[in-house]
């Protein structure tokens, strides 16, 4: 089988496309890349379909042997990468030959890197998507993270010229972030003092954060709600459980939940959150629905107008 053989799987490497939509009624969550911007650029640099399957490499440590001649691109977190021992840059394309060894170091800035191949990895969809959700054991090769000996299939491929995203357009991954929040319809369950405390406090990302949700630690927030029926949960929703410590729900969140929600983090900022390691600090900023809508279209326009350049 042509593709890449996993020599070392790294801490958490998952196959992802844009996600699994229209299956919440079956209890299946969305999945997909935690940092959609880095995922999009990994495919765009190679001229791939916008839904092409990539690898999401969390924390690093991945090692792959190529069984095919193809072209790759790596974006996202700074995970020092090498082909046959020679360092390569991220945010640009490289030719890979059969027998080459591709290695990823451990992340020094950010948490999650994305590896794409020209044409995308050939993964059979499960419920309409190749995205791996470990809790549900669906997607990817076997519903699990990659393990040593797995072969990730792809076809041979080439490009007419190599591209890169210039440094000025690459994201900077820091140890702190301000996350913009649109308050939800349950905001009345949090009085003015609790809301002021939430938007004027600093929180830390804890080690209990994962693809389901980022658990934060900081100022305790109380709700007047003593119980509620479980209901559907959107991406980025901020739940306040009984202990008063916020949880920002991410791609692999459960489809329903019964905790009050003070609001939701906008998608571009959940991508920034996904690149924060445990111990990083965040603050929340309230914005209006209209502001969130404007930001969405401005960011989309900026992405479309930003053009990669040819590698000299």
Rounded to two decimals, the pTM is 0.95
Alpha helices in the chain (DSSP H): 36-44, 192-199, 267-274, 289-305
Which pLDDT score, from 0 to 100, does residue 1 have?
Answer: 75
Which pLDDT score, from 0 to 100, does residue 299 have?
Answer: 95
Q: Are 72 and 91 in contact (CB under 8 A)?
A: no
Q: Are 32 and 17 in contact (CB under 8 A)?
A: yes
Measured distance CA(83)–CA(144) in Å, rounded? 26
Helix (H, G, I), strand (E, B) or coil at 263: strand
Which pLDDT score, from 0 to 100, does residue 25 have?
Answer: 86
Pick the CATH number of 176-304 from 3.40.50.720, 2.60.40.1760, 2.40.100.10, 3.40.50.300: 2.40.100.10
> How would you class 57 by CB atoms within 10 Å of its CB: exposed for 0-12, middle for 13-18, buried for 19 or more?
buried
Which pLDDT score, from 0 to 100, does residue 288 have?
Answer: 96
DSSP string computed for 15-35: EE-S---S-GGGT------SS
Above pLDDT 90, what percent of the chain? 90
Helix (H, G, I), strand (E, B) or coil at 272: helix
Residue 228 clears pLDDT 80, i.e. is over it = no
Which pLDDT score, from 0 to 100, does residue 231 have?
Answer: 85
Residue 312 clears pLDDT 90, i.e. is over it = no
* Reported confidence tier of residue 230, pLDDT bands at 50, 70, 90: confident
Which pLDDT score, from 0 to 100, does residue 46 have?
Answer: 97
Q: Where are the domains of the chain?
A: 3-165, 176-304
Q: Measured between alpha carbons, how far apart are the two ends of the chain, in Å?
A: 33
CA torsion 228→230→232→236, rounded to 10°? 70
Question: How many CB atoms sit inside 10 A of residue 49's CB?
Answer: 12
Question: How many CB atoms sit inside 10 A of residue 187's CB?
Answer: 16
Q: Are 232 and 260 in contact (CB under 8 A)?
A: no
Per-residue pLDDT tens digits for 32-68? 999 999 999 999 999 999 999 999 999 999 999 999 9
* Reported confidence tier of residue 258, pLDDT bands at 50, 70, 90: confident
């Amino acid at each position: 089988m042509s593709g890449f053989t996993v020599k070392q799987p790294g801490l958490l490497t998952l196959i992802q496309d844009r996600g699994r939509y229209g299956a919440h009624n079956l209890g299946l969550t969305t999945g997909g890349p935690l940092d959609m911007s880095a995922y999009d650029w990994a495919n765009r640099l190679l001229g791939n379909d916008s839904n092409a399957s990539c690898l999401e490499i969390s924390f690093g440590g991945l090692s792959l042997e190529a069984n095919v001649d193809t072209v790759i691109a790596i974006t996202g977190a700074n995970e020092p990468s090498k082909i046959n021992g020679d360092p390569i840059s991220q945010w640009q394309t490289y030719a890979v030959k059969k027998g080459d060894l591709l290695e990823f170091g451990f992340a020094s800035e950010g948490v999650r890197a994305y590896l794409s191949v020209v044409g995308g990895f050939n993964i059979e969809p499960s419920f309409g998507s190749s995205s791996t959700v470990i809790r549900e054991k669906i997607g990817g090769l076997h519903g699990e993270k990659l393990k040593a000996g797995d072969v990730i299939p792809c076809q041979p491929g080439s490009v007419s010229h190599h591209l890169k995203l210039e440094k000025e357009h690459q994201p900077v991954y820091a140890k702190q972030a301000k996350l913009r929040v649109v308050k939800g319809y349950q905001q009345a369950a949090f009085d003015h003092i609790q809301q002021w405390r939430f938007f004027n406090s600093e929180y830390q990302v804890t080690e209990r954060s994962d693809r389901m949700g980022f658990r934060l630690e900081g100022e305790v927030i109380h709700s007047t709600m003593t119980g509620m029926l479980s209901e559907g949960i959107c991406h980025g929703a901020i739940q306040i459980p009984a202990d008063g410590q916020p949880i920002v729900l991410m791609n692999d969140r459960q489809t329903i939940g019964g905790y009050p929600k003070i609001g939701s983090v906008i998608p571009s900022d959940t991508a920034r959150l996904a690149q924060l390691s445990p111990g990083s600090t965040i603050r929340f900023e309230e914005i209006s629905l209209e502001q969130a809508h404007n930001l969405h279209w401005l960011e989309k326009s900026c992405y479309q107008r930003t053009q990669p350049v040819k590698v000299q």
